[in-house]
Amino acid sequence: MSERELGRKLDRCLADGVIKLGTGLGLGIVFSVLFFKRHAWPISFGSGAGLGMAYANCQNDLRWHYLLHRNPKVALADETTQR
Amino acid sequence: MATKLLPVVKLATKVGIAGGAVYVAYDSGLLGGSEQGSEALQKARAAVPPAIEEWMKYFGLQTQLPTIPNVEFSPVQAWNSGVRWTISRLSEAPTKASEMTTQGFQFVKDLLK
């Protein structure tokens, strides 16, 4: 993976983290107000879930280059020839 | 009848609002992959300031909004910049050294004239 690509991925991770944190916070506030009598824990829970989603996305994005990918069309062709 | 129906309607409204919020978040790509997320951030950056201005006009508020601080930090630019700088200086070092030596000799020659 080139430096440039890595930088781009980290950039995307930061942007995604901001978006996910904001979304989690917003949904947490909505749920806290509507269902949980304005307790603070749904907000913390939503923000944490958002950050966790961003972290998982980022981890997956950074590992993507080192994983073996299987082309479905080639795999299907192999299976049909083996039969 | 109405007293029995009221809590149900209330709960249905609440569930509808919460479900709508989740649906809107999912539909606009806020809960998707990282590419969708960064795209959504770009869209929000482009869409939010004009919308705020529009609402300010709508409510008749004439206050000047503070400019959004530019917190543009791009890891693409900053990534490994120290290493890059060092390596480029090291690669330039022989040329620079020979140039400076020539200049030094020239200076000494001029002094001795």
**ipTM, 2 dp:** 0.71
Among partner residues A6, A31, A57, which is closest to B34 by beta-carbon distance? A57
> Which are the contacts of A8, defined by CB distance < 8 A and separation ≥ 6?
B76
Please indicate whether, in this complex, the C-beta atoms of B38 and A54 are within 8 angstroms of each other.
no
Query: In the structure encoding, which two tokens stand for residue B60, read together?
Result: 């008749």
Provide the residue-wise pLDDT of chain B in tens; the chain has 113 residues.
778 889 899 999 999 999 999 998 888 888 888 888 888 888 888 888 788 888 888 887 766 666 666 666 666 677 788 888 999 999 999 999 999 999 999 999 999 88
Among partner residues B25, B41, B76, which is closest to A15 by beta-carbon distance? B41
Please indicate whether, in this complex, the C-beta atoms of A61 and B34 are within 8 angstroms of each other.
yes
Q: Please check whether residue B12 touches A, CB under 8 A.
A: no
What distance in Å separates the CA atoms of residue B13 and residue B68, rounded to the nearest whole number?
36
* Helix extents (H) in B1-113: 2-27, 34-59, 75-78, 81-112
> Can you give the residue ranges of every domain in chain A?
3-67
Question: Is residue A26 a contact partner of residue B21, using CB atoms and an 8 Å limit?
Answer: yes
Of the candidates A62, A45, A70, A53, which has an alpha carbon nearest to the alpha carbon of residue A10?
A62
* B interface test, pick of A19, A20, A35, A38 with most B CB neighbours within 10 Å: A19
State pTM to two decimals: 0.63
Residues recorded for chain B? 113
Find chain B residues with C-beta within 8 A of A19's C-beta: 30, 37-38, 40-41, 44
Among partner residues B31, B34, B75, which is closest to A23 by beta-carbon distance? B31
Please indicate whether, in this complex, the C-beta atoms of A7 and B18 are within 8 angstroms of each other.
no
